[in-house]
Amino acid sequence: DERRAVTAEVLAALQRVSRRPAGAVLLRAEDIMEAIRAAGLLAGTTPGLREQARVIAADLAQLGRYREAILADRLALDAEFVALAGERDRLAALILARQERLALAESAMGTEGSRADQLGREARTLRELIDRTEAEAATIRRKAEEARLAAEAEARQARERFAAAAAREPVRLAPRQGFAELRGLLSRPAVGIPLREFGAPDGSGGVLRGAAIGTRPRALVTAPADGWIVFAGPFRSYGRLLIINGGGGYYLLLAGMDHMNVAVGQFVLAGEPVGQMGDVAAPSAALGVVETDGPVLYVELRKDGGPIDPGPWWAKSQAERARG
């Protein structure tokens, strides 16, 4: 609106000048004042118009730069869409390959589960079970090593095909450090209240060879340390028993779970979920007499086949460190 008003004034002044040219003004003295007014009006409006013209020119130049930037962004976006389509195809191929491997793994898990059940039925003692499962585990680890080498070769080929993909940390297939170095550093396999300690009377004339932890219903159970699953299935008075080989002759036994989600031969990391508790205590003579109706996790630590006290191996909680 302001520019329209200024333009109207300029047009009016130009009309006056066109009707009364400068040469004709000298012939009529009465038009001198009108000519002066027109000249003053032009003198007052011309600088403003010149400034507005400069601003408009700058705006047009900036608009041109914006258009060039938009064009460049559009070209870059088109390139990103092409790259995204290629990445989507790559991910689809990887997902398909993963599904095929999961199907093979599930088939192998079923086979190993049946084998574990057979070992549990055939073994007469826990020591015999550990020895036999260790022999089985050695064969499984050899096959796993062959599979790892094949996977590494496949990964190298994949990295060559997709050089722009982010590098991933290789999966660990062995403990980070020796089990003997973890004394006082192991994380408890489940959050709960200690019910029975190692060496406590089991209520039947003997002593407890492990520890009992009262957990909340359906609590998650995790691996206390890195290791290989050498047994996962029912075994005599233990009920559902999970045995983790931590290396160096150390074995971790976990019993009392409602179900387990690992397979024999699998390598697990410390803190990795391995099972889940039920809603009530699972029947297990290995627990001894425990006065509770809630779920109870039995933990046993063995060295070279003999049970040892797991108490000194657990990492202290913040409250224990504050007291100690």
Of the listed ranges 174-183, 279-288, 298-307, the one predicted with least confidence: 279-288
Tell me which residue of 263, 282, 272, 260 sits closest to 213, measured CA to CA.
282
**Mean of pLDDT values over 101-129:** 67
Host H or E run for residue 41: helix 32-122
**Mean pLDDT over the full length of the chain:** 78
Query: Quick one: pLDDT band at residue 163, thresholds 50, 70, 90?
Result: very low
**Whole-model pTM?**
0.53
Query: Quick one: pLDDT band at residue 116, thresholds 50, 70, 90?
Result: low
Higher pLDDT: 62 or 32? It is 62
Helix, strand or coil for residue 168? coil
Structure-block tokens of residue 275: 């099972």
Residue range 11-38, pLDDT digits in tens: 777 777 676 655 544 455 555 666 666 6
Query: Quick one: pLDDT band at residue 215, thresholds 50, 70, 90?
Result: very high
Q: What is the side-by-side order of every strand in the sheet holding 259-260?
A: 220-222, 273-276, 259-260
Query: Quick one: pLDDT band at residue 51, thresholds 50, 70, 90?
Result: confident
Under 8 Å between Cβ of 227 and 245: yes
Structure-block tokens of residue 306: 């003999």
CA atoms within 13 A on the CB side of 165: 17
Number of other residues whose CB lies within 10 A of the CB of residue 45: 15
| Exposure string for 244-256, b = 16+ CB within 10 A, e = fewer | bbbbeebbbbbbb
Block residue for tokens 């982010």? 166
Tell me which residue of 41, 46, 33 sits closest to 13, measured CA to CA.
41
Task: Report CA-CA distances (Å) from 257 to 42, 221, 273.
Answer: 97, 8, 12
Structure-block tokens of residue 282: 């699972």
Which residue spans within 161-249 are E strands per DSSP?
Answer: 192-196, 211-215, 220-222, 227-235, 239-247
Region of 206 (left: φ > 0; alpha: ψ -120 to 50; beta: rest) is beta
The answer on pLDDT for 168 being more than 50 is no
Block residue for tokens 């400068």? 22
Residue range 250-272, pLDDT digits in tens: 999 999 999 999 988 899 999 99
Region of 90 (left: φ > 0; alpha: ψ -120 to 50; beta: rest) is alpha
DSSP tag of 280: S
Host H or E run for residue 86: helix 32-122
Tell me which residue of 189, 202, 314 sits closest to 253, measured CA to CA.
189
Q: Is 41 exposed, middle or buried (0-12, 13-18, 19+ CB in 10 A)?
A: middle
- What is the Cα–Cα distance from 312 to 116, expressed in whole angstroms? 31
Block residue for tokens 């585990």? 137
